[in-house]
Structure 1
Amino acid sequence: MQAKNATERFTELFSKLEHSTESEQKHEIEELHGLMEEMDREEFESAFTEELFNSIDKMIEEKKMPLENAVLLLNHLGYNRTLKFPWNYGFDDSSLSERFEKMIIEEEMKEEGMNEKLLFDLCKCYQALSFNLSAKLLPICASCLLKVAFNKEKNEETRKEVEIAFLALSNIHEFIEIEQKLYLNEIKEIIEYHKEHHNLTQLTYQSAWDFLIKRFIKDRNLEEVIANKLHFAREAAREIEELAKTVDWKRKEGNKREREREEEYILLRWIRTLRPYFCICKLWNDESVELVSSVVNIFRAVNDNSSEICDQCICVFVAATENEAVKSEELLKGGAVEAVLEAFVQFEVKSRSAKDYLLYFKRICERLKEKTDDEANEAKRFELKRKIFEKMEEEGYEDFIIGLNHYIEYGTCYYVLVQNVENYFVYF
């Protein structure tokens, strides 16, 4: 008999909750959490649907599950959804979402006797599970989560609550504006303190930066603080290198699936966070070049082992080519050009990153047509052009790119790529 997968075991165990006692439920919820950690993306998506959240709501309504247990279960769900699978929408259209919205507003409106612990539990679950945060709930959830996130007590329980709060805050969409006065001074203090004392978990620290970079997308006044005062590029490079040391990159995707470690998910979150920074930061410096080098090292390490991280690295490289503040010689120094050149003909044409590879190659070719002021970098640019030209002839790049033109779909949802293949070639 074929063994049941994690989704089947999760569904079977979840169905027992409504028939269990309160204490039995707590034990079963921890078992469910273990199964969540085993799930890959497809298994997670198939399990965490609108119907599942409606079932939880029904158990609360019929008093088959106390709110305390529901919060425990949703806390685990929100943690895994935000850490691993940020685009799961099952919660948003559910009756449970409506219940939590109502409870949050009612609790916050109490003139006296507000239960701050309950409000935090509701906000952290709602924020971690919701993809489309209600405009009327944003100030309530943000204020509540920020208050917990800035708690400086050092006990383990507080440390975990701070991690959960920052993880939920990092889930606030980048196009939602939050006033600087609500967070900036405190988050600066938290980051500076961590640099000296290393008091935050890796996930907490990444989530704090993720929250700040998302605010940067709408508020460019944060640039000086992020780039020059808090030294984001230096900190991100250090964290990425530390995380890379903990991961076994020799694990092949074709082998029997091994559970991914939390460090891999945190690393993927860092790479995603870099994309907007590389695209819009104008204060480019040597620390930024070092960060490019760190991403190049990851890209080379994961090229055969993690297609998702590899795809995100390509997105980061493309973002750098879109930023006029990034000089072509800085991309050369960081090694991004050589790394992608090495990998260009190795990836599957049908992969979702095909457009990004092609776009990056085109933009690098455009950059290599631009002369640099530095003689050493000009010589390197000329040598790289020669290498690319020879590589195109040797590997059949022209035929490869022409073939891609027949495969790639051009439309408004993707970057517009010029279909004249001559634009992708670097001639002397």
Structure 2
Amino acid sequence: MSKEMSITEKFTALFDGIEECYEEEQMQKIEEMNEMVNEMNKEEFGSIFKRELYEKIDDMIEEKKLSVENVILLLKHVGYCKMLKYFYEFVNDYSSLNDRFQEMIIEEEEKKEEKNERLLVDLCECFTLLNFHILSDELTPICVPCLLKVALKKEENEETQKEVEMALLCLSCIDDGTKIEQKLYLNEITEIIKYHQEHQNLTRLAYRSAWMFLTIGFFSDESLEELITNELHFAREARREIEELKRNVDWKRKKVGKETEVKEVLFIKRWISVIWEFLYSNTLWNEECEGLIDCIVKLFLASRDNHKDILNGCLGLLRNASEKRNMEIDAFVKKGVIDLFLEQMKQSTLDDEIMWKCLYFFFNISWRLKEKKDDEKEKEERKELKRKIFERFEEEGYDDFITCFHGVISFRKNIYRELSGNISDYFVNV
């Protein structure tokens, strides 16, 4: 009895025979391959889509054995699935196909007559989806306006929604190291977000992608702070999206075998990455930010049994928030963040990244509570806050934990090298 072929073997067999087909038959085979891509898990996906495959595709284009249109049909879908399934490790840097796409984008943009706008959009989408890295200074002023033009479409039909979703997803792939001038994007992306808040015209993925693109700009442009925090209400919107997603997840259900994660969990992971960008750059604090902290705590509590990636993501967000001077420490007490980290310390091991995040969090809290206040009222409020935290530390045996870990951790190795080696830096003195 012959063994059934695996999905990767089926995909490879189809691809290997594609250059012998006519263009229409090639298109049919690519549509079959795209269906297989939908079913692949991370390991299967990574075993297929390697640099060697892209070099082969580039050779087939050069030898006219595969049309650019059919390459786009395959690679746009591959890139979409990569992002949809959160396969961020997969990249296409430094392949000859990568160079070909860059040249084609520039060549199409420079045409004075008969410019193929659809081809230009397709090329920009393929390039950004498959690379997920910094755009060059030459490509940025081409790709960003091109994709935003598509994203601004407001027709209420499924086809337009898909086009808009794809364009915004591609924009969200641009690395935060890319320098993008405000005139290339700010008015357009602000309009897109505001229009959705009024009319709910974007898909869930498109809305998250719009925010990711804007916060990428925020990473290197502090002037966006007021717009993002108080005008577009990022913290409020992120909290609402996560709470809606969280309601549709069975948090007690364990993942079995090859089963892929449900889309709501993947969307939550995406929002965690957007919130990270926001917390890293934002220096404003309002009640909506406090509500976001509360949302993160509740997400952590929901995810801790069966979703370690989300649990780690939540701890990372809270640890990051503890570094920000604008984030009020009193909010960490009221929302249970202090208790959450104390509880995690009891369950962590020396080799656990969670332990590092816990130590980093308490180092930040201790450091910030040592800041001097000139105003008498602020001094009294700070003294009372220190007393509350100190009492919680005493109840939970925090001193023993810190002393124990400090005695055996090498602060010069691995992730711990970023932490202070001075034990007094982890204590709060009343």
Aligned match of 1:383: 388
Cα 1:332/1:15, change in 2 over 3 Å: farther
1:244 to partner: Cα distance: 1.2
Secondary structure in structure 2 of the residue aligned to 1:212: helix
* Residues in 2 aligned to 1:345 and 1:160: alpha-carbon distance in whole angstroms: 47
1:4 to partner: Cα distance: 6.3
1:28 to partner: Cα distance: 3.6
Aligned match of 2:225: 223
- Structure 2 residue identity aligned to 1:204: A
Secondary structure in structure 1 of the residue aligned to 2:305: coil
Are 1:337 and 2:342 an aligned pair?
Answer: no
- Structure 1 residue identity aligned to 2:404: D
Cα 1:238/1:408, change in 2 over 3 Å: farther
Aligned match of 2:351: 350
Aligned match of 1:398: 403
Aligned match of 1:142: 144
* Residues in 1 aligned to 2:395 and 2:200: alpha-carbon distance in whole angstroms: 48
Aligned 1:277-316 pairs, distance under 5 A: 277-316=278-317
Secondary structure in structure 2 of the residue aligned to 1:344: helix
Aligned match of 1:36: 37
Secondary structure in structure 2 of the residue aligned to 1:305: coil
Aligned match of 1:85: 87
Are 1:97 and 2:98 an aligned pair?
Answer: yes
TM-score (norm 2): 0.89
Cα 1:98/1:302, change in 2 over 3 Å: same
Assess if the C-alpha contact under 8 Å between 1:71 and 1:121 holds in 2: yes
Counterpart of 1:409 (choices 410, 413, 416) is: 413
Greater Cα offset, 225-234 or 186-195: 186-195
- Structure 2 residue identity aligned to 1:138: T
Are 1:50 and 2:71 an aligned pair?
Answer: no
- Structure 2 residue identity aligned to 1:398: T
- Structure 2 residue identity aligned to 1:314: L
Aligned match of 1:72: 73
Cα 1:259/1:20, change in 2 over 3 Å: farther
Cα 1:200/1:395, change in 2 over 3 Å: farther
Aligned match of 2:238: 236
Aligned 1:204-223 pairs, distance under 5 A: 204-223=206-225
Counterpart of 1:196 (choices 180, 183, 198) is: 198
- Structure 2 residue identity aligned to 1:106: E
Cα 1:111/1:289, change in 2 over 3 Å: same
Are 1:320 and 2:329 an aligned pair?
Answer: no
Cα 1:208/1:399, change in 2 over 3 Å: same
* Residues in 2 aligned to 1:354 and 1:15: alpha-carbon distance in whole angstroms: 48
1:12 to partner: Cα distance: 4.1
1:378 to partner: Cα distance: 6.2
Assess if the C-alpha contact under 8 Å between 2:150 and 2:164 holds in 1: yes
* Residues in 2 aligned to 1:407 and 1:5: alpha-carbon distance in whole angstroms: 46
Greater Cα offset, 207-216 or 48-57: 48-57
Greater Cα offset, 286-295 or 365-374: 365-374
- Structure 1 residue identity aligned to 2:413: E
Assess if the C-alpha contact under 8 Å between 1:97 and 1:126 holds in 2: yes
List gaps (5 residues or longer) in structure 2: none
* Residues in 1 aligned to 2:36 and 2:381: alpha-carbon distance in whole angstroms: 55
Assess if the C-alpha contact under 8 Å between 2:279 and 2:320 holds in 1: yes
Aligned 1:240-279 pairs, distance under 5 A: 240-252=242-254, 255-279=256-280
Aligned 1:364-383 pairs, distance under 5 A: 364-367=365-368, 373=378, 381-383=386-388
Are 1:418 and 2:420 an aligned pair?
Answer: yes
Cα 1:18/1:261, change in 2 over 3 Å: farther
Cα 1:134/1:180, change in 2 over 3 Å: closer
* Residues in 2 aligned to 1:7 and 1:310: alpha-carbon distance in whole angstroms: 32
TM-score (norm 1): 0.89
1:9 to partner: Cα distance: 4.6
Superposed CA RMSD in Å reads: 2.8
Are 1:157 and 2:159 an aligned pair?
Answer: yes
Cα 1:221/1:205, change in 2 over 3 Å: same
1:149 to partner: Cα distance: 1.1
Cα 1:26/1:229, change in 2 over 3 Å: same
Assess if the C-alpha contact under 8 Å between 1:337 and 1:364 holds in 2: no
Cα 1:358/1:34, change in 2 over 3 Å: farther
Cα 1:257/1:351, change in 2 over 3 Å: farther
Aligned match of 2:63: 62
Cα 1:341/1:169, change in 2 over 3 Å: same
* Residues in 2 aligned to 1:296 and 1:38: alpha-carbon distance in whole angstroms: 33
Cα 1:390/1:195, change in 2 over 3 Å: same
* Residues in 1 aligned to 2:392 and 2:3: alpha-carbon distance in whole angstroms: 52
Secondary structure in structure 1 of the residue aligned to 2:331: helix
1:410 to partner: Cα distance: 4.9
List gaps (5 residues or longer) in structure 1: none
Assess if the C-alpha contact under 8 Å between 1:289 and 1:333 holds in 2: no
- Structure 2 residue identity aligned to 1:313: C
* Residues in 2 aligned to 1:149 and 1:75: alpha-carbon distance in whole angstroms: 16
